[in-house]
Structures are given as C-alpha cells and as structure tokens.
Amino acid sequence: RLVALKTPKNRSAMKRFRRSAVVAAKVNHPNVAKTLDYVRDGEERYLIEEMIIGQDLDKAILKRARFLDPYLAAKVFHYLAKGVGAAHHAGVVHRDLKPTNIMVVGGYSLAEIKLTDFGIAKLAAEEIEAAAEGGTLTMSQTAVGALPYMAPEAIETPKEVGSPADIWSLGAMMYQLITGELPFGSQLRAVSRILAAVQPTPPKFVTANAQFAPLAKQVVELALSCLQRDPAVRPTADELATACGEFCYSSGPRNEGVVD
C-alpha cells in the first residue's frame, strides 16, 4: 500500500515521537488518519501513516475562501466531532486541533475528512509554557499557529490538559470556518482574550441571508457552546456529534467551475 512517512523535525521532538505514535495508533475511525507502524532506521525515526491523497483544510479551503457556507460547515463539524469522539473514547487527547491538522480529500466536496498528528504537536503547548516562564515572546511557528485554537487551560496548565481542551479547539476552529474570523484573534495578543473567554459576536453577514440563517445560527451557537471558560460545562464530543446529526446538510458532491 501507499503510505505517508513522518519524521521528527528536530532532536527535541524525537524523544516524543515514539510516544506519539503509540498514542495515535490507539484510535481507529474513518475520520482519523490511521497510524500503521513506527520504525527506527539507524538514527532516523519514521511514523508510518495511511496515505491521504488530498490537502489540509487550510490549503484546500481557507486559502481559497475566507469562510464556509453553513451547509459545508455543518458537515465538517459533524465529521470532526465524530473523529474527536473516537479519540476520546480511546483515552486520547489530540491537544492541537487546527485547520492544518485536518486532511481533506475532494476539495469542496469534502469526500473524506481526517484528523492527523495526534500527540505530536503537544510541543506547541510546551513551547508557550517555556516562553511564559522565560519572559520571551519568541516562539516557533508551531506554537504561534496553534495559539488561536488553544483552550485557556492549555495556556495556563498545559501539563494538565484533558479532552475538554479538544472541544474548545474544535469550537474555535468551527467559529472561524463559518465566520471567517478567529474568535480571539491571532498570535500573542490572543492570549489575554482566550484567558478572559469573552465570547465573540459573530459578523452580521452570517445570518443575514434568510436561506442560510437557520442553519448558520445553529452552527454558530454550537461552536460558541464549546468556548466556555469552565471545561466542565463544555459539551462532549459525543454530544456535539449528536447535535450535528440533527443539522440539515447535504453530504453529496459539489461541482466547481465558472459561472459565465
């Protein structure tokens, strides 16, 4: 079979790499990229994962459109909630849900949606913690890219992060997908807003169209329910999947082209 080989970017990441492979291999679900094996060849380490012929959500969709229509957003929300739920049932917390860790096949048709990189990006939270302790604002792109989707507890106590942090990240990502805006902004200025957890006000255009308004409102409200300061009051992934299952969206293919 065709497979994807992943290698650690540097020596500091290498020591976490095998542990990440073991964690990821516990999850078996259609909406999660399957970890097949882990091998060592001399000084090199390889995580072997199923090959996904597609792009990450950021490149496939967000580089071409600032936001999704509510029907497509509802589909993404539903599939991701099921994938996250499968991970949580296996006792696995992703810790770094964001568009670049979501692989899609089929472009706007989103024939397949799969979560990737379980456990590997734990490094991002540790880098933010180190930056806070050292008083430096210099962080890697890994940490900066993860920050807009990080739960308050992932910033304050990264070693104690549990499954509700994934729910927060999923909510932040879905809010972005349907509004075109990050709920708490980007880079380091987002930290204070995340810790305050003052919920954002969605742009008016999201519910301005009468055809889209009912579903758009449902998706936004469900996303905002994930962005609650207290982890204990956030919905579970199973509850999100059940709620998304009530949404009226089409799973059929979409066509792309030019209207003359």
**What positions carry a catalytic annotation?**
96
d(CA 3, CA 230): 40
Read off φ and ψ for residue 124, nearest 5 degrees. -60, -45
**103, 190, 177, 175: which is closest to 143 by C-alpha?**
190
Residue with tokens 């209207």: 259
d(CA 25, CA 116): 11
d(CA 8, CA 226): 31
> What length is written for the chain?
260
d(CA 237, CA 170): 9
d(CA 22, CA 47): 10
Structure tokens at 245: 């299952």
